[in-house]
Structure 1
């Protein structure tokens, strides 16, 4: 993997996307197959790079199949459910998250229920909403004011969930990476309408790979402020 040229892979993936004739390749299944053949036929990539490019495409393809609830299903060898994803089983991922509900809490039932609800609609291992303990964030620095909220930068120790390990039946984290923190208002007076709006905001980005991803919520214990 060390010799893989990530910029070149990205360039080929972009070319494969912009080369789609939507009059011929109508649905996302046909578009995926076209892009896959485009990558395999590209002479600038090594075999290892082609494998990596297709792996990236498969992640997006799995997301689309689950989002649209459409595609060939397979029987998961672990849970025996008929799942749509090929790189993981969406039911196993959700069951793993559900099993761990008792291992975390924000201390606020509304927020806990919000995150649990989001997790039970998880599409991909790298698109999971979490309660992030504040002490898992470091180098928190003020950045700017966005709208009516203060914005901060930080580094998330361990980082977000990234992949599903089918052998160990557990989620694997990405490792430390940069994040943006946005202060949320009126959480202490959260109502059902706030719950629905927050859920929509949190899940929207993880249903569409082209939108900036939301990782979850955290709280500064010194002042009680909740951050997205």
Structure 2
């Protein structure tokens, strides 16, 4: 039975079991074969009460891999290697061992001139020392030094770039130097640096302009930050779409800054056939001076079409205007992204169906997967098929234009996008679905459950939506309980088919709408005004309060 001597297992300085004790308990398990070296290492470990950074360790030479001689000034030999174990971080009380970080990190191995002068040699080194090892062939003792940046006092991004200089070349000294200069300036942000991008890391390369511009997908994406665990760059934007611009100018930092005015500049590549050097860039949004939502939409324009130029242009113009709030965008939605399509009702201008939308709504851009994140997959939507819309009319376009203009308001039914019925060829608006149907249907089934506050809240929703329509300088012109929908948490206005600008002067004022809701002056042939919408709202007030259809008696 072993009896612990607390005199030796307790640090006299700390009055506890600190790092120094854990180091001391391991003294018998290693030796450098040189008393001076052993004593030096042990002294550093015995002084490392709180921070392990102060301690050196004896590191077996077989703990290093990929040992390569490098050329650095001075008289001692210097090698670069990977340290398999990594450096000591802190003591693991559970497993009674040291926790290590930086497995396979790059380190420098620098020969010690004379082990007797070991203290002076370590004192003169700027790099953080990890320990000492010995080359089994030459028997030279070597300092194991970190590869820390002198400016940052840590292994910053610059060091990781520098370690890789020997692994690539563009084949052009000026371009190599230019790329390396940008990397040597990127101490705190890897995204500031350029890189050499092998041409075989690009695919789907397509010519997009006569002025030697191309579009392609970049397999790897741009480096984001250094991953200490895997000793490699973490990257964003795998398979991202980029533009290739032929490099005609002599590259300088001033030139790079000029390019970055209009583009996000990632690196340089070379076409192996033409031997042209090419910049790997992405257009910046001129309004945002960055890559915003509109750029991501724009990059996808070539991957879809509605089959109609007017609709394509309408959707694209909206997407190009969506810099921040992506939910304001419309999209072209293939009809096969819907299922369980069921007929619901017929309106004045078309049929309405209910369906499940497989993908759901766009939420935000996913930089990692280079695609839109979506939510509400398999959500219910309303498909409003407009009769004879396979031949696009001004009325159809106006309904979409006005509905989208009003879409940001909470009390207007959401407009998600456009699709096309492959059988009828009619174009279809994809809208928010109202579980409880029209306000009339809701009153028929649930009126007895409503109290005064419920009725006031519902009317408040309607007048708030109508106020927004009027403030947008539009008139609805077809307000009735069939065009007011009851959703789970709100009442919302729909059907902008007759919506017109408030200042629209029609030569012939045809009367449209549901007769009980039409203002008397409209029946007399006068022009529609905002007041006509207010009259319609007044009829609905009676209907909500009484529960009865207008002019019931």
**Short-chain TM bin:** 0.5 to 0.7
SS at 2:314's partner residue? Answer: helix
- Is the aligned partner of 1:138 residue 2:314? no
SS at 1:223's partner residue? Answer: coil
Whole-Å separation in 2 of the counterparts to 1:137 and 1:112: 20
Whole-Å separation in 2 of the counterparts to 1:185 and 1:98: 30
Shift of 1:160: 1.7
- Is the aligned partner of 1:178 residue 2:380? yes
Match of 1:214 in 2: 415
Whether the 8 Å contact between 2:285 and 2:292 is mirrored in structure 1 is no
Structure 2 unaligned spans of 5+: 1-263, 265-283, 430-553
| Pairing of 1:11-90 with structure 2 (within 5 A) | 79=284, 83=288
Match of 1:20 in 2: none
Shift of 1:80: 7.9
Cα deviation digits, residues 13-54 of structure 1 (max 9, x gap): xxxxxxxxxxxxxxxxxxxxxxxxxxxxxxxxxxxxxxxxxx
- Is the aligned partner of 1:120 residue 2:317? no
Match of 1:45 in 2: none
Match of 2:446 in 1: none
Match of 1:154 in 2: 355
Shift of 1:223: 1.8
Whole-Å separation in 1 of the counterparts to 2:384 and 2:394: 21
SS at 1:227's partner residue? Answer: strand
Match of 1:100 in 2: 300
Q: Give the greater-gyration-radius structure (CA).
A: 2
Aligned residues: 146
Which protein has the bigger helix share? 1
Whole-Å separation in 1 of the counterparts to 2:346 and 2:373: 33
- Is the aligned partner of 1:225 residue 2:441? no
SS at 1:162's partner residue? Answer: strand
SS at 1:216's partner residue? Answer: strand
Shift of 1:192: 5.7
Whether the 8 Å contact between 1:118 and 1:203 is mirrored in structure 2 is no
RMSD: 2.8
Match of 1:22 in 2: none
Whether the 8 Å contact between 2:285 and 2:295 is mirrored in structure 1 is no
Shift of 1:93: 0.3
Whole-Å separation in 2 of the counterparts to 1:168 and 1:198: 31
Structure with higher RCO (Cα < 8 A, 6+ apart): 1
SS at 2:425's partner residue? Answer: coil
Q: 1:210 to 1:121 in 2, by over 3 A?
A: farther
Whole-Å separation in 2 of the counterparts to 1:165 and 1:81: 22
Shift of 1:189: 3.6
Whether the 8 Å contact between 1:127 and 1:213 is mirrored in structure 2 is no
Cα deviation digits, residues 97-141 of structure 1 (max 9, x gap): 011000001111121111111212225122320111000000000
Whole-Å separation in 1 of the counterparts to 2:309 and 2:355: 26
Whole-Å separation in 2 of the counterparts to 1:81 and 1:111: 25
SS at 2:326's partner residue? Answer: coil
Whole-Å separation in 2 of the counterparts to 1:181 and 1:80: 33
Shift of 1:142: 0.5
Shift of 1:176: 2.2
Which protein has the bigger strand share? 2
Q: TM-score, with normalisation over the residues of structure 1? A: 0.55
SS at 2:410's partner residue? Answer: coil
Question: Of residues 403, 416, 429 in structure 2, which corresponds to 1:201?
Answer: 403
